[in-house]
Amino acid sequence: MTTPSAEALRRFKRVDLEEILEDAQQRLSQTPEETLQQWRDNIFRETKGYSDLAVLKTSLESSVSLVSDFLKTQKEYLASHQDSDFTEQEIQNDNEYVDRQSLYIAFLIDEIEKFPPMPVLPPPEPLIKVCGVVEEVEFIKARAWFDAQAYMTTDDLQAFKAQLDNKGMVGTMLTNSFSGSSVSSYGSSDKVNCLYTKGKINGKTFSGWFGMTDIRPGDSVEMAAMPDGDNYLVYAIINITRGTISLTPKCYKGRLSNSFHLVSLFTFAMVLVPFLYPFFAAHAFLSTLCIYIATSLFLSIAIYRRGQSEEGNQYKLYGRIADALGFPGGERFDLLSHAGKIIKKKKDAGEIRPRKEGEIPVPQGGSDGYVYEFFYFYESRVVPKEAE
């Protein structure tokens, strides 16, 4: 029987996970990029290639648990045997397994560390307009949360938790921690596929979360941004060169576009038909009319309050963006209608075609298109001096 080398035997006796991971982190830098990309493709197949922090953490926890259990068994096995009891093949198989699993753990840790910082919502400082030419830019395909909970401050969250506790739902809806005004990595399940965008403009770095964006180096842009030291946190970008605008996901309309009178009109129309039959059947005009009005008002108030509580901060952010970028009419500016008119003209002219992988994107029409990418056509009225 071949005697295993001293180095192979030493590695066979490793049971300290931290020591093993230190070695794995050194080997990670020597791992071919093709291997790392294959692991990414396998992990994010269900998310269509978008990095998901929750998926990464779940994979990490599972892998660490698997290796930890193996090392615990290994420690017990070593304590009950002599070195002469181990075969070379056994040692080789064991070392290969630990090296493979620990390298994968090191890869997951590296991917988590490289994951972009979560959106800062709402921006704690005023937004300003930044005009200039994009000097450099890069994109990371990642998923993040932009629902109502993502906009909560600590006080807001505590009040919300207390409200849910009264309904017995806190265990199922808010079992995760929040910090400040940004959602934790285990926020709600309503995640959005995004392009985390970072680059440089006017000599300063900028970053922001967008459903889709088409900015490239050399493009003239206007940004609704919050100064963050020597950097900018960006919440909207008008690409003057290409005539598009990219927005923070789920933020594409102002509060007035969902005002109470519009909700009321919709609700009154929605419940009208069910009340027509009893009216004609019993000719009870006055009583039917009273019930109809009361029901419609009740539903209108309920729908309006629900919308305000769930999406109020998104409306406010849109209003702040509109003010910073000078939208005509401010938060009353109907971006969807404006973009729809432009995209119709382009479709009629044959300028819109399905997007291909790797191409500079253009807003796509339809219910699955620009509405959910938060990426629209937009005709800017003011061209910054840098673009002239």
pLDDT of 187? 41
Given pLDDT bands bounded at 50, 70 and 90, which one contains residue 88? confident
Contact 324, 129 (CB under 8 A): yes
Average pLDDT over residues 6-22: 82
Q: What is the mean pLDDT of residues 365-378?
A: 73
Give residue 316's pLDDT.
Answer: 86
pLDDT in tens, 305-330: 555 554 557 778 999 999 999 999 88
Given pLDDT bands bounded at 50, 70 and 90, which one contains residue 346?
Answer: confident
Q: What is the pLDDT of residue 218?
A: 96
Domain boundaries, the chain: 6-114, 255-318
Q: How confident is the model at residue 287 (pLDDT cuts 50, 70, 90)?
A: low
CB atoms within 10 A of CB 83: 12
Closest CA to 212 of 370, 92, 21: 370
Gap between the terminal Cα atoms of the chain: 81
| Whether the bond into 116 is cis, omega within 30 of 0 | no
Residue percentage of the chain with pLDDT more than 70: 70
Taking 70 as the threshold, does the pLDDT of residue 297 lie above it?
no
Give mean pLDDT, residues 162-190.
41
What number is the average pLDDT over the span 223-241? 96
Q: Looking at residues 36-59, what average pLDDT do you find?
A: 92
The Cα–Cα gap between 223 and 320 comes to: 12
Helices of type H across the chain: 6-12, 17-28, 33-43, 53-79, 88-114, 154-165, 170-173, 260-270, 272-282, 285-325, 335-348, 370-373
Amino acid 355: pLDDT: 79
The answer to whether residue 289 scores a pLDDT higher than 70 is: no
**pLDDT at 86 (0 to 100):** 77
Question: Does residue 74 register a pLDDT over 50?
Answer: yes
Q: What is the pLDDT of residue 282?
A: 53
This prediction's pTM: 0.75
Residue 233 pLDDT more than 80?
yes
Structure tokens at 241: 């060169």
**Lowest mean pLDDT across 83-92, 175-184, 359-368:** 175-184
Residue 14 has pLDDT above 50, yes or no: yes
The average confidence (pLDDT) of the chain is 78
pLDDT beyond 80 at 272: no
Q: Assess whether pLDDT exceeds 90 at residue 382.
A: no
Residue 102 pLDDT: 93
Residue 83 has what pLDDT? 72
Phi, psi dihedral angles at 304 (to 5 degrees): -65, -45
- What integer is the mean pLDDT of 141-164? 69
